[in-house]
Chain A
Amino acid sequence: MSKIHVSTSINGDAVEYLCDPSETLLDVLRNRVGLTGAKEGCGSGDCGACSVELDGRLVCSCLVLAAEAEGKEVSTVEGMADGEKLHVLQQKILDHAALQCGVCTPGILVAAKALLEKNPDPTETEVRYWLAGNLCRCTGYDKIIRAVMDAAAEMRGA
């Protein structure tokens, strides 16, 4: 089976990889590029743990073929912090204790970041519907929603 050569950008870095035609972007991020922040919770787009941005658009990386990333820009949770400085959303998730096991957290962060880029002042209902594709089984979502709302307020003020 011949592999496909892909040139792409991941978190601003030029990256090249060889992938099988059937491999997903998630497979490649985790197994070939060494970025294990995105998680596979279902492999069918139902849990959101693998959320990344592809050319600025929020997607499930399990529903993207690795070959499709050619010439695109991929952003993952690993690219959110600026060196030692956490993104406001990362800080607010910590401040609000908005994680327990933490396995859904990378997906929640990437999704919430995409929301606030599009809508800096979301209502609670808008946050809840935007994040409906990010399953969390630990928290009941309460503290996550509060953290995202608080981050939005701080980012608007900044």
Chain B
Amino acid sequence: MVTEYKEGSVGAELGQREFKVVGTRPPRPDGVDKVTGRALFGADLTAPGMLHATILRSPHAHAKIVSIDTSAALAMDGVKAVVTSDDFVKQGGSGNQDTLDNCMARGKVFYDGHAVVAVAATSVMVANAALKLIKVEYEILPHETDVDAAMLDSAPVLHAGRKFRNIPEGNNANVSGFWEFGHGDIDEGFAKADIIVERSFKTAATHQGYIEPHATLATMGPDGRGEIWVSTQGHYMVRDLSAAFVGMETSQLRVTAAEIGGGFGGKTTVYLEPVALALSKKSGRPVKMVMTREEVFRASGPTTSSSTDVKIGMTKDGRITAGQAKPRYQGGAYPNITAMLGAMTAFASYDLEAVQTQAWNVLTNRPKQAAYRAPGAPMAIYTVESVIDELCQKLDLDPIEVRLMNAAKKGTLSSYGPTFDEIGLVATLEAAKAHPHYAAPLGPNQGRGVSCGFWFNFAGNTSVSMGINEDGTVSVIEGNPDIGGSRASISMMAAEELGIPFDKVRTIVGDTNSIGFNDVTDGSRVTFSVGLATIKAARAAIQNMCGRAAQVWGIDADAVDWVDGAAVPTGHNAGEFPPMTLAEIAADSAKTGGPIAGHHEVNADGAGVSFGVHLVDVEVDPETGFTEIKRYTVFQDAGKAIHPDYVEGQMQGGAVQGIGWALNEEYIYGEDGKLQNAGFLDYRIPVASDLPMIDAVILEIPNPGHPYGVRGVGETGIVPPLAAVANGVSHAAGVRMSELPMSPPRILAAIDGAK
């Protein structure tokens, strides 16, 4: 059973507030549509006269495009338009140009699967037949897909002149970024240690693995106006990039977010959308594009793979004296900052006197990485948490006690710079220590793993608008695609603030013309930021409603309060009037000044960092290297769980993605630089029979930056499993594992090697 743990003593008045709606578990508003098949996802919409488009992709890992001849394809019956990189507008900033070049290769192809030409035709079958008639002449170039090899002087250079950070001497042209964080005297710290462990780790690239492939439907008329229907985490982002790439003004493109079949960061950029729009522009007809699963794996962004050296010093009683991590990430052919996030998060769980992290981003011939749930953090924290576990093992210390001794808390100077405010790591560790799971006996060939995890959480640009309807109901428009139940939590916060029941509120995700700009649904920002904007929009509406009541009562607006969904006089001095409910005020709104609405636009701040601790029991078959997850418990600080079911769901889902990363998921490249496992058969995400129940224990240490204390909960859950499982396997197998995934051949080889 899922148990809830409430920490009543922390967070002062924030923790004391009594909620009526927040913290309950009402059914989600989009639920019935999703259990009946009515919900419309990216590939579910059609338009009259619609064409279908498919993409010709590079069969090479690295090649110069010498020429492209599309004449035979264009001449084919049923083919209506063809586009290449020539059909898009050159971009000013290098970031946007990279995104465009990734959508449609310009001059060079950088990875197996890189898009080269797109064809729109009357059917998918015709479009695919047309692709076969396209002649692309390539000049094949040497390639590299491994991060360490790409840093060698002998490695082929992908781009010249793409270094965008101060790169230390001695790094080749593939090193596009370098970052350094930390404080204290690292050498002095190591000198104080009784024991130092140094290890190198590798993690494979993994894919977000959303079940719904990328899909979009775009239409653009001769008047230069366009519409896009798309499965995305950010339709404003789709609008801005697509409009820029085809050379139209932002206002002329309206983008509507479909129901999204999973994203996990992988749908925070564009792949098909500008291409479909350009094809629609050329053909004058709506164009639908849907990736195959193979295309999703070959051409949409996996996360980075990594290679990291870690060194940690500890005293005999378990105090960390110094920590150093040097992560090197590759995220494909274009620069990215995931390595920086790895360097920032590696030691974020600890209160350290001396810490240093240095990170490198390296260009390789792989698909352009995309964000994947706490990007950069899982693999960095995996390395640090593995070494801490090894130190505990060597010193015969309890791994939770050691983590408690070193845990970051309020006032800790974090390893990446800021000083922490109210945070929940200690409470989370204490909860894990006290949980029956931690004391449960282990059987033969079993091991228990522990790991902490951290994620920053983002906030950012957010707009919310709400209308108070004459029947006393409320319509909320937000601008962030709902990937995990946010329409429920936003409705709950609106209902809470307005003092009305949950079922009186309906929240929708508006299109890009409905409300102001919104950042992408990422960084676990939505419940925090959209919630904050919703509460403030509700307060604006409340202020308006108090004014209406004051007007009716003939008293000063300042003399009216809002209590339990009704306007009331602030006290006897204000006058004696019965409460005027939201419904009563709304019903008379036409007589008191017209429609009542509230809106709020903000570049939010104060997201509040989040910590989690995972406990896992594994059993390793010593004859095959097979790992079974026997028991799993997640402890995480949610700040305030608006809808606990969905908070648990995020914790459980993150844990299982992390288990997949730890055990079996990996991008496998051949010598030829081609991806060998572009499908769910050989890219092995966890299936139902691989897992036990995932117990979720929610802690609530309120975030001072949010009116209800909310912290983002979406990403932290994927951070601890890598090390938790690795530590469990290392104990069960009797050998320290240092490479992910810990697939059976790798574990068996390690066991045999240790004999």
Contacts and interface: CB of A to CB of B under 8 A. Distances in A.
Interface of A: 20, 22, 30-31, 35-44, 46-47, 49, 76-78, 80-81, 86, 90, 93-97, 99-106, 109, 124-125, 127-129, 131-146
Contact of B27 (A47, A95, A124): A95
Contact of B37 (A37, A104, A125, A146): A37
B691 A78 contact: no
- Residue in B27, B34, B38 with the greatest tally of chain A CB atoms within 10 Å: B34
A17 B648 CA distance: 44
B27 A78 contact: no
Contacts of A38: 37
Interface of B: 25, 27-28, 30-41, 43-44, 46, 125, 208-213, 259-264, 290, 292-293, 483-485, 643, 645-646, 648-649, 652-657, 679-681, 685-691, 693-694, 696
Given A37-B36, A39-B261, A145-B688, 20 more contacts: A36-B37, A39-B212, A40-B213, A43-B293, A47-B680, A90-B32, A97-B643, A100-B262, A101-B212, A102-B33, A103-B259, A103-B261, A133-B687, A137-B685, A138-B262, A138-B649, A139-B656, A140-B652, A140-B657, A142-B691
A99 B694 contact: no
Contact of B211 (A124, A135, A143, A146): A135
A43 B36 contact: no
Nearest to A102: B34
Contact of B32 (A41, A86, A95, A106): A86
B688 A99 contact: no
Contacts of B657: 137, 140
A95 B34 CA distance: 13
Interface of B is mostly: loop
A33 to B, nearest CB: 12
Nearest to A80: B36
A142 B694 contact: yes
Contacts of A141: 656, 686, 688, 691
Nearest to B683: A46
Contacts of A76: 37
Nearest to B643: A97
13 contacts: A44-B681, A46-B679, A46-B680, A94-B35, A100-B262, A101-B261, A102-B33, A103-B41, A105-B35, A137-B653, A138-B484, A139-B649, A142-B693
Which 4 A-B pairs have CB atoms at the shortest separation, nearest pair first? A37-B37, A103-B261, A102-B34, A97-B645
A36 B40 contact: yes
B689 A102 contact: no
A69 B653 CA distance: 36
Contacts of A42: 293, 679-680
Contacts of B36: 37, 77-78, 80-81, 86, 90
B35 A140 contact: no
A106 B35 CA distance: 6
Nearest to A81: B36
Contacts of B208: 137
